[in-house]
């Protein structure tokens, strides 16, 4: 049984999921004490230079919002006005150890649903307008204070021709002021509007969900790569027609028969789903390939651990493993250790010394930049 978590308002993970997940908002005052996940503005600007992060600057001018894409320099930020602007940095967990540790608090939710951490720094009055997210989000206040207004029953119509997804109409049903360490959880499609009351940091821990129309498109691409329909239509007994604009019956029948040959199994669906869920965003970079020789790799196993790189998605189900959009079959003898590896994203070298499949796999991933080595 999972223990209660103070950062979930004294609820256990299962209690939180049953009562609030995708159902109702939850405000958790004093959920977390500021530790190594706290950033200052200079650190955020420096980290935002990484290719694994995407950065936006949003300045409010009356009822309009100006959006500029970074990265930005310290001097550019220093020239900004005293109020009404927000700096957003997406993917901070890929470049900051403290943010990665912060994510570990939410490992009671499947990694398949995890997106990333976005950090926003806002000057007084800074905001991104009333909006909604199509995913679950935990809004953790890092420093300073912010006023949130929230609504769950409203139109989701957006103001047209705006770069930001701002609601046409927003009528708050509740509000709160948050300070350092407070968490506001919001289910999908709950509109919210947060305004900085003073210079402040907010950490948005987001959880993605597949959009089924996108799944459909990707599955059709998967089928195209997985199946072939050899041959070409032939009609040696064709007779003259007086209706040349009509699709011939034999041509339609031939296409129907060929398309009906495309059939997929449970394993096809499983492999597609794993590959689809582990595809990395285009701007995320894995580690540079490691040129370590296999002989040296094997000699260092007993004193080395291996950790999955933060930008790499790694999942498993049944006899399959999935990493960065690729599926592979796991031998029965390796499945227990492999699943533990996927759940913790860390494996000790001495546990794989006698498993040739695991050793070969991790050596390959090391050379591809999917894992990093840690001396133990």
**Cα–Cα–Cα angle for 87, 199, 206, rounded to 5 degrees:** 50
Q: Which two tokens stand for residue 3?
A: 């223990």
Q: How far is CA 31 from CA 105, 182, 201, 225, in A?
A: 11, 5, 15, 47
Please report, in tens digits, the pLDDT of each residue of the chain (376 residues total).
Answer: 455 567 899 999 999 999 999 999 999 999 998 887 889 999 998 888 877 789 999 999 988 999 999 888 889 999 999 999 999 999 899 889 899 889 999 999 999 999 899 999 999 999 999 999 999 999 999 999 999 999 987 788 998 988 899 999 899 999 999 999 999 999 999 999 999 999 999 999 999 999 999 999 999 999 999 999 999 999 999 999 999 999 999 999 999 999 999 999 999 999 999 999 999 765 555 556 667 888 999 999 999 999 999 889 999 999 999 999 999 999 999 999 999 999 999 999 999 988 999 999 999 999 899 999 998 8
Report DSSP letters for 157-205, one per residue: -B-TT-SS--BS----SEEEEE-TT-EEEE-TT-EEEEEESSSEEEEEE
Rounded to two decimals, the pTM is 0.89
Domains annotated for the chain, with CATH where assigned, are 6-207 (2.60.120.650), 294-375 (3.40.366.30)
Query: What is d(CA 8, CA 293) in angstroms, rounded to the nearest whole number?
Result: 46
pLDDT digits (tens, 9 = 90+) for 299-339: 999 999 999 998 899 999 999 999 999 999 999 999 999 99
Provide CB contacts within 8 A for 112, sequence distance 6+.
Answer: 277, 315
Outline where DSSP puts E strands in 208-340.
304-308, 314-317, 320-323, 326-329
The DSSP output letter for 215 is H
């Amino acid at each position: 049984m999972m223990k209660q978590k103070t950062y979930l308002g004294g609820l256990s993970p299962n209690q939180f999921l049953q009562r609030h997940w995708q159902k109702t908002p939850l405000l958790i005052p004093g959920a977390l004490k500021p530790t190594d996940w706290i950033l200052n503005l200079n650190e955020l600007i420096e980290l935002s230079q990484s290719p694994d992060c995407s950065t936006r600057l949003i300045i409010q001018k009356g009822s309009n919002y100006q959006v500029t894409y970074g990265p930005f320099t310290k001097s550019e930020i220093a020239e900004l006005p005293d109020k009404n602007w927000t700096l957003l940095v997406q993917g901070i967990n890929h470049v900051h150890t403290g943010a990665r540790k912060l994510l570990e608090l939410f490992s009671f939710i499947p990694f398949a649903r995890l997106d990333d951490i976005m950090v926003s720094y806002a000057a007084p009055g800074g905001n991104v307008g009333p909006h909604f997210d199509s995913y679950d989000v935990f809004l953790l206040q890092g420093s300073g204070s912010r006023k949130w207004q929230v609504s769950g029953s409203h139109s989701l119509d957006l103001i047209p021709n705006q770069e930001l997804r701002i609601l046409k109409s927003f009528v708050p049903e509740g509000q709160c002021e948050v300070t350092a360490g407070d968490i506001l959880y919001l289910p999908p499609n709950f509109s919210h509007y947060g305004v900085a009351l003073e210079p402040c940091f907010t950490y948005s821990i987001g959880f993605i969900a597949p959009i089924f129309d996108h799944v459909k498109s990707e599955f059709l691409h998967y089928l195209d790569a997985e199946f072939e329909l050899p041959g070409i239509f032939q009609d040696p007994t064709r007779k003259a027609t007086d209706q040349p604009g009509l699709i011939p019956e034999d041509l339609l029948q031939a296409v129907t028969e060929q398309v009906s040959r495309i059939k997929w199994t449970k394993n096809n669906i499983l492999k597609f789903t794993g590959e689809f869920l582990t595809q990395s965003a285009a701007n995320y970079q894995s580690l540079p390939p490691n040129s370590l020789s296999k002989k040296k790799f094997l000699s260092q196993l007993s004193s080395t651990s291996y950790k999955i790189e933060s930008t790499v998605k790694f999942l498993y189900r049944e006899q399959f493993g999935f990493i960065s959009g690729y599926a592979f079959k796991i031998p029965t003898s390796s499945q227990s250790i492999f699943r533990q590896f996927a759940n913790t994203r860390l494996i000790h070298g001495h546990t794989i010394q006698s498993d040739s499949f695991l050793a070969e796999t991790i050596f390959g991933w090391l050379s591809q930049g999917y894992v990093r080595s840690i001396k133990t």
